[in-house]
A and B are shown apart, each in its own frame.
Chain A
């Protein structure tokens, strides 16, 4: 009986064994990359909002402090979304007739809340607390990026667990003095050796707990 395959196919078979490993490796790499991509994480995607609110204008140009609107960032888990009242504090006086703000005025008149699109959406089993991060010297822009330069808000990081752990493993890379927490121009990350030394000092000063506590599952998951 003649052979079904030509001799030359042996080479192909050998190659495919070798190549299989690469293919599998490539597939694993591809899955990991897709998983981390902003297509999956939603990072760097600007979100449409009912009102064209610009953080760049309010925070960057006008220099309004983050805490003017996000009032509970120092005291509660949630930073707090400003009620319509906060908008109307100013906008009953300035830009009081702007068509952009029609929805805000309508909300105020009809006592109906504005429904904002959530930009930073952690999974429900992760219990993030703003207040403790602020208290330990993690700046706003470390996680939220250059908000003062964002006309429309986007998520500046992956919000995946490996991203959280970057800081929970080495907080010195990201800590800053407490008074600079709301300074949007402060460096988001300590990179040089001096900066890292400063970070280590701050870690001591702010009594940041050691790795074992910071990496415990129960720190974030309940």
Chain B
């Protein structure tokens, strides 16, 4: 049953807004500079009302179907029982020691093991924490080229992860994982599968394997690739197809177009002064390589005076749908997908790329091309033009030509062989497979991972009818999913933390994937599964991986260690070192020298004219264009059953548990304006949004798609996120067996001819509405100077400060002017910051103890959300579900607020602001607690004592930052056995009725303190790394001791950019912010004009 039917009263609380009213209100509003939603921008009365309610659904407090009499009965009973239950005696426990204790394992002391998470875009090197043999948390491996920066390890060891690596812990313990080998739905032994496969293969062998087909995802494991090649050698007529719904296929095709061979582009952002992104979202950190890119990009952008850095790079972004990258850019232009190649061509011509002529017309934002080209040319050899993975191949080819013309190749841009070990055009590969299935040429189809029945393009859908033509279908998968359902055999696949493997990073460096736990459900790894098609079907994954590397020569040249010069003499020793370090040295892909093809321009023009001809007719037919993107949270759908990711608010829309059709405000008005009863509801907290029916190219249809307004979206363009609408994902991501649907399936609308962009979209409002859960307006902060920003020029001039200054002796008696470098102030009023002694409460002095503090750099934050998931994993934070999120009851200890700047139709950008508990020295939550459940400790952190908490929620009411979270219901799952293994044993698991909040990772602080005390020293700077800090790809979060003047955090808090959030309240937060900096080009208008000619005219 749909949630709306279960709780109808939840969705009828607010009258939908009349668009005419809002339009009128919006028309006269130019005053507010920062806003988080359109209602806020319009100062709508609902918004004002919302501001005065802590929890927006307060009015709906009594919406359960329980009547008063039942309530009284239950209350009476629970009162009587409450007294009894509180007297519970702890059940007797047993201690079960080892028989033979393994070396190095001390119960209570976690161990860290190097491993790597394979993704289609490269592996993410990890150090995984193991508590008594249970992997519980992942952190980046500083020696790995993706998560760390090994070249700079000597001076600065950093390592980061992204949301997928962090959330993979939950996927490991997911109770919905497939647990048994199934043959047509019946449980069978794996040996039965082996025997049947063997006899089938014997039959195929006579025909050299004709009819045997493998469909894999992008393979980055050298062992797996070698296994596949061995199989193809044994069955020469067999074929290996590759399909990855959201890979970098366009980049490879684009490289083919430009260079005649599929090379991979590598970027050195740390050397780049000017960057132009052509629809690239390298700051979202969705792709593994972007963890590295984001860090290096931000390193050149962070103005830190004590490090002597006073320069910033400059980022231009041209994009077809708003992304983190575009919103962080200094200049951003929204274009329609069909216009992107024209812009790239015009720019290529302007920088003098050989053979490219500027298009005659139809160049969007043509007035800006010259200025951008001039700026890029001024930084010859020190700029980067990066095309997005999902940009058309032509744009990739043009980006290659521009980089060549700018002399960037060999400086900031390099080419290597692809990380993909079978770099074929995957769309073509799948198309061939489908054609062969239809032609009856496929006898045995082996799906090695992946879920192509769910995610194949709509015109190549692997439907039941089509697959029925294949005699034997085998699927290896961690879940019994949509593809498994249509296969004869389903083999449960291991998680990467359960089995041995290897995987290449974005630069080609190979990591050994080391398991940390025995397979929970007797699954098989891809290696063990592929062995079933070889002569040794029961070889273990460990043997296979190790044996493969034994045949390779491993060279330890240039790595640390005394016996590590030159090729390894003893393989066993080398193997131990490889497994310990997590990487195989000197395996990075070799650089390649490639040059743009001579006939590149003509090939390009030919291709473009073809596309534009076919598109032109479609555009004129309907006027809407479509953009597909992997979902920011659940990616291509493979993470759909991961509750942490489902509940993660998407970076720009803050939408959780759903996907939606993104449209611009103008398009929304055009679609829904003035149609009477079905008025469009602008964004609010309880989002009751209208739905539309979508039809692409007149053939592919999708009905009842909810619409969300995305400021910055180009007009006439609809963006859909893939990965939702799963029918057999599980209890979280949607399953038809329980009639649970989560989001809608955009793959049904996505043909192979419009993989990422397409024209010819028809949009028809249905007149119906759909509830969305959006966290955007929750925990509001009433328009005060929350986010502060400045441009580099203004900052360097240092003048024109409009903000109240205050003198502070906090930093060694030297007066520090707060907010000097942060002059722009959002909101209506500026408040005077109180002086140091303006307080009724006693000063918090603790010079002998520690003074923990945190510095969050809003310039560095790219809104990738990794910190939120890391916090959730480290601190045992529960998932609450869509309906509870709609009630503003999400439990994340850390949220990232996104503050838009500029006009709604075309915002200048977004300032991301992570907000954890501020650990105020004079915390407003403390005096209002009747039971002293929230108190300071000697080091000045604000502690939450769960066992004292009686759940009055006064503290949450009194918290100006709205960072406290209350367990309204029993959110924590105490019953599922596998989830018990996942929890961090050093953090209490909270039950119902208890308040909780960011603790500064108190367990890590105490650990470091105890270790330092035992050694008779103070905690060193950098010894305590909070979970959010360790996950952050851009080092935006720094934690440390403010009493230590030399600590990084103390130095950062002494920066001019430093400011306290709501300092006027005199809460003296320990967490402070560094103002957000931008570096706009003075030759371009600072505020981009509105949608202009690209607005309504196409409609």
Binding site for B on A (CB under 8 A): 40, 72, 75-78, 80-85, 107-108, 111-118, 121, 123-125, 127, 129, 131-132, 135-136, 207, 209-210, 212-213, 216-219, 221-222
Contacts and interface: CB of A to CB of B under 8 A. Distances in A.
B107 A217 contact: no
Interface of B: 89-90, 92-101, 106-109, 846, 848-849, 935-939, 941, 943, 945-947, 986-988, 999, 1002-1003, 1005-1006, 1010, 1013-1014, 1016
A222 B109 CA distance: 16
Contacts of A85: 98-101
Given A72-B106, A111-B99, 8 more contacts: A76-B106, A107-B99, A115-B95, A121-B92, A209-B849, A218-B1002, A221-B943, A222-B999
A84 B937 contact: no
Contact of B1006 (A84, A113, A207, A218): A218
Nearest to B96: A113
Contacts of B1002: 218, 222
A58 B114 CA distance: 41
Nearest to A135: B1014
B854 to A, nearest CB: 16
A129 B1010 contact: yes
B895 to A, nearest CB: 22
Nearest to B109: A76
B99 A213 contact: no
Contacts of B1016: 207
Contacts of A118: 92-95
Contacts of A124: 988
B1041 to A, nearest CB: 14
A80 B132 CA distance: 13
The 5 closest A-B pairs by CB, nearest first: A216-B937, A81-B97, A212-B938, A83-B98, A78-B108
Name the residue among B108, B846, B939, B941 with the largest chain A CB count within 10 angstroms: B108
B99 A84 contact: yes
A107 B988 CA distance: 33
A207 B98 CA distance: 36
A182 B988 CA distance: 31
Contacts of A132: 1010, 1013-1014
A83 B987 CA distance: 27
Nearest to B986: A222
Nearest to B1010: A132
Contact of A117 (B94, B107, B1014): B94
22 contacts: A75-B109, A83-B99, A83-B100, A83-B101, A84-B100, A113-B99, A116-B95, A116-B97, A117-B93, A118-B93, A131-B1014, A132-B1010, A209-B938, A212-B849, A212-B938, A213-B849, A216-B938, A217-B935, A218-B939, A218-B1002, A221-B947, A222-B1006
B918 to A, nearest CB: 17
A135 B1012 CA distance: 11
A157 to B, nearest CB: 16
A207 B849 CA distance: 12
Contacts of B1003: 127, 222
B943 A218 contact: yes
Contacts of B1013: 132, 135-136, 207, 209
A174 B360 CA distance: 89
A139 B99 CA distance: 28
A81 B95 contact: yes
Contact of B99 (A75, A78, A108, A116): A108
A72 B937 contact: no
Contacts of A125: 946-947, 988
Nearest to B875: A222
Given A84-B99, A112-B99, A117-B92, A217 B939 contact: no
Contact of A213 (B95, B938, B946): B938
B937 A218 contact: yes
B999 A77 contact: no
A109 B982 CA distance: 32
A80 B98 CA distance: 10
B937 A217 contact: yes
A113 B937 contact: no
B1006 A127 contact: yes
Contacts of A113: 96-99
Contacts of B848: 210
Contacts of B97: 81-84, 113-114, 116
Contacts of A84: 97-100
Contacts of B846: 212
Nearest to A107: B99
A85 B102 CA distance: 11
Contacts of A108: 99
A206 B988 CA distance: 30
A123 B948 CA distance: 14
Contacts of B946: 125, 221
Contacts of B999: 218, 222
Nearest to B934: A217
Contacts of B90: 121, 123
Contacts of B100: 83-85, 111
Given A72-B107, A76-B107, A212-B938, A116 B1006 contact: no
A40 B88 CA distance: 10
A103 to B, nearest CB: 12
Contacts of B92: 117-118, 121
A104 to B, nearest CB: 10
Nearest to B849: A213
A78 B1016 CA distance: 21
Given A108-B99, A222-B1002, A222-B1006, A80 B106 contact: yes
Name the residue among B93, B97, B938 with the largest chain A CB count within 10 angstroms: B97
A218 B98 contact: no
Given A116-B97, A121-B93, A219 B107 contact: no
A114 B941 CA distance: 42
A113 B109 CA distance: 20
Contacts of B93: 117-118, 121
Name the residue among A82, A123, A213 with the largest chain B CB count within 10 angstroms: A213
A84 B100 CA distance: 6
Contacts of B106: 72, 75-76, 78, 80
Nearest to B90: A121
A206 to B, nearest CB: 9
A72 B849 CA distance: 28
Contacts of B1006: 127, 218-219, 222
Nearest to B945: A217
B937 A219 contact: yes
B92 to A, nearest CB: 6
A221 to B, nearest CB: 6
B1006 to A, nearest CB: 7
Contact of A115 (B96, B849, B938): B96
Contacts of A81: 95, 97, 107
A76 B986 CA distance: 13
B1010 A221 contact: no
Contacts of A121: 90, 92-93
A132 B108 CA distance: 14
A49 to B, nearest CB: 10
A40 B89 CA distance: 8
A10 B92 CA distance: 53
A48 B789 CA distance: 67
Nearest to B1001: A222
Contacts of B936: 216
A40 B941 CA distance: 34
Contacts of A129: 1010
B887 to A, nearest CB: 28
A123 B90 CA distance: 8
Nearest to A114: B97
A72 B986 CA distance: 18
A127 B945 CA distance: 13
Contact of A77 (B96, B98, B108, B935): B108
A210 B847 CA distance: 12
B95 A80 contact: no
A80 B97 CA distance: 8
A222 B99 contact: no
